[in-house]
């Protein structure tokens, strides 16, 4: 079959990517700049035998998503900063209860209601640390319409494979941008299904990790009967206050992500191998970074880009290698505090020449902004 090139919006690619990955339940609450995802899902889900629900708020949205996932249906929600804040408590339940689900955050400029229609990349740390209790999470960030689609599929794959919630940190620019895109044919991209139990029902324990470190997850309504709880629990899913058990549970939630770091950490490089000036970028800002690096090369500066598709867990290894080779590292991002620049500094050490390019007024970072930082050396 001839695959057509289409002009596709980022948010549309996210919704279509979720459907491609097998999502058949969406619960959400409208918020700019993510609402196109909800609108499209309200059309697609019922067509495909799935369900779309507009909930009373974002707290309910993620709760319903978790419930549907436990009933065996791949589920997701989409929001922006204010809604993402409301989701944090129940996102923590998905972490502790090890419930696969995907949360799309199309970031906008804050704090608070902020500039509701303008882009930002200021929820990087909220994604990582926004919840109470110590926990790990996976977060991915797309820079193009194609990456919106592909990384949404990847987000579902990681969620299902590792029994975790996965956050897609998009931003208003990629969410609303339109680019030429050819939808992949069925089977072209890998789609992962969660591991189901194979033991007899009387022996099933919902939190007993298999050899790969991940516990199989049954569905409510199957022959397996099980408990999931927001309280600390043992392998059987029932409350357990034993300190040794709690220590094992908390560590296990971190370790299962740690163990698969090399599979989870996704990056791209553009002329980065010999870079003397390394631009480390993610999301829409990657586009300006690539343009700036090309211009700098033409001017005789060996500049290159390391794009972080995975932000959490943070790609320490490749940042250390490529950042270590460069004499200067530039980190452009649409936030004031340098949320990723701080991580880069942690990896490369206090002596490294790390230049921050920050915008936090709802305007995009331009290649010229980045070039000025490069030339400022």
Partner 1 sequence: MWCPGCGNGIVLGAMLRAFEELEYELHNTVVVTGIGCWGKADDYLLTNALHTTHGRALAFATGIKAANPRLHVVVLMGDGDGITIGGNHFIHAARRNMDLTAIVVNNYNYGMTGGQCSGTTPADSYTSTTLYGNPERELDICRLAEVAGANYVARGTVYHGWELQQLIKEALNKKGFALVEAVSPCPTHFGSHNGMREPVEMLNHLKEKAVTMDAYRQLKEPERDGYFVIGKLAERDAPDFSTNYERMRGRIAGARKEGEPA
Contact set with partner 1 (CB under 8 A): 6, 12, 16, 20, 25, 27, 40, 43-44, 46-49, 51, 53, 55-57, 59-61, 63-73, 75, 89-90, 93, 183, 185-186, 201, 219-231, 238-239
Q: CA dist 25 to 41, 59, 89, 98, 148, Å?
A: 9, 16, 21, 18, 19
Question: Residue 64 CB, nearest distance to partner 1 (Å)?
Answer: 3
- Shortest spacing between CB 53 and partner 1, in angstroms: 6
Closest CA to 11 of 92, 82, 108, 90: 108
Alpha-carbon Rg for the chain in angstroms: 21
Would you say 53 or 151 has its CB closer to partner 1?
Answer: 53
CB nearer to partner 1: pick between 57 and 273: 57
CB of 21 to partner 1, least distance (A): 12
Nearer to partner 1, 54 or 267 (CB): 54
- 288's enclosing H/E stretch is helix 285-298
Write down the residue that tokens 């505090």 correspond to: 337
b/e per residue 78-95 (b: at least 16 CB within 10 A): bbbbbbbbbbbebbbbbb
Nearest distance, CB of residue 186 and partner 1, angstroms: 4
Residue that the structure tokens 């296990």 belong to: 252
- The H-or-E segment that residue 69 falls in is helix 58-70
Cβ neighbours of residue 16 closer than 8 Å, sequence gap 6 or more? 8, 40, 44, 149, 183
The structure tokens listed for 72 are 């065996």
The minimum distance between CB 245 and partner 1, in angstroms, equals 15
Closer by beta carbon to partner 1, 12 or else 80 = 12
- By beta-carbon proximity to partner 1, the closer residue of 70 and 330 is 70
Contact 265, 128 (CB under 8 A): no
**Closer residue to partner 1 in complex, CB, 220/336:** 220
Least distance in angstroms from the C-beta of 38 to partner 1: 15
């Amino acid at each position: 079959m001839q695959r057509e090139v289409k002009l596709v919006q980022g948010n549309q690619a996210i919704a279509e990517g979720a459907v491609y990955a097998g999502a058949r339940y969406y619960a959400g609450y409208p918020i700019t700049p993510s609402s196109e995802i909800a609108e499209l899902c309200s059309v697609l889900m019922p067509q495909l035998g799935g369900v779309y629900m507009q909930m009373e708020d974002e707290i309910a949205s993620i709760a319903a998503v978790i419930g549907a996932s436990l009933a065996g249906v791949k589920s997701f929600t989409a929001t922006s900063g204010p809604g993402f804040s409301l989701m944090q408590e129940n996102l923590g339940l998905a972490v502790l209860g090890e419930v696969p689900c995907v949360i799309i955050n199309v970031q906008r400029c804050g704090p608070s209601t902020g500039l509701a229609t303008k882009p930002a990349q200021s929820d990087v740390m909220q994604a990582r640390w926004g919840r109470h209790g110590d926990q790990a999470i996976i977060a991915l960030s797309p820079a193009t319409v194609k990456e919106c689609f592909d990384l949404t599929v990847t987000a579902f794959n990681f969620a299902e494979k590792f029994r975790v919630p996965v956050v897609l940190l998009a931003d208003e620019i990629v969410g609303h941008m339109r680019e030429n895109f050819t939808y992949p044919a069925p089977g072209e991209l890998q789609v992962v299904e969660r591991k189901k139990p194979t033991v007899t029902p009387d022996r099933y324990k919902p939190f007993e990790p298999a050899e790969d470190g991940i516990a199989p997850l049954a569905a409510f309504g199957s022959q397996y009967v099980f408990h999931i709880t927001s309280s600390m629990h043992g392998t059987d899913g029932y409350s357990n206050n034993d300190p040794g058990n709690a220590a094992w549970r908390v560590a296990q939630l971190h370790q299962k992500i740690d163990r698969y770091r090399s599979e989870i950490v996704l990056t791209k490089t553009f002329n980065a191998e010999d870079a003397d000036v390394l631009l480390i970028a993610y999301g829409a800002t990657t586009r300006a970074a690539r343009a700036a690096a090309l211009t700098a090369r033409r001017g005789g500066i060996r500049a290159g880009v390391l794009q972080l598709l995975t932000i959490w867990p943070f790609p320490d290894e490749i940042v250390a290698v490529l950042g270590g080779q460069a004499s200067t590292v530039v980190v452009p991002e649409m936030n004031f505090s340098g949320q990723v620049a701080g991580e880069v500094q942690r990896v490369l050490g206090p002596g490294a020449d790390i230049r921050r390019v920050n915008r936090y007024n709802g305007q995009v970072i331009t290649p010229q902004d980045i070039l000025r930082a490069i030339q400022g050396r």
